[in-house]
Amino acid sequence: MKTNLLIGILFLTLFSYGVNAQSTKINSQIESKKSETMQQIFIDKFIVPEKSKQEFLERVQINRNFIKHLDGFINDNAYERIDENGNLIYITIAVWKNESVLKKAKETVQAYYKKEGFNISEMFERLHITMERNVYKESEKL
């Protein structure tokens, strides 16, 4: 009797593990498909010293005008404030149709920079600008 009980428990454990593994695989596939249909929200936060503000804003305007013409671009907004040290805190939010168009847009922007001889890393270092960049998705409705 104990042997049958142990075999039963072992079977249920293995079956449960198999179901969970399959469920994890299915969830992963669903998430992958979602990223292809779900809008991608590209958010950048810049901290710009006061003396660097003009050059930075000129470059931002060039970039924002460029991305508006790329396939899959939906919209963008920019927000700013001055912190207690006089730095410009500048946040841009660009919304893209899905993950693949965002990837293509990044590649297109990099090619554009290369063509015009612009090096964003050099500019940020020279102007002492720091940046935090992340891609978000819309939060699921509760």
pLDDT tens track, the chain, 142 positions: 555 544 545 454 445 555 555 545 554 444 444 556 789 999 999 999 999 999 999 999 999 999 999 999 999 999 999 999 999 999 999 999 999 999 999 999 999 999 999 999 999 999 999 999 999 988 777 6
CA atoms within 13 A on the CB side of 103: 5
The reported pLDDT for the residue numbered 10 is 46
Q: Give pLDDT, residue 137.
A: 87
pTM for this model (two decimals) = 0.72
Q: Could you tell me if 96 and 42 are in contact, meaning their C-beta atoms sit under 8 angstroms apart?
A: yes
DSSP strand pairing (88-96 vs 40-48) = antiparallel
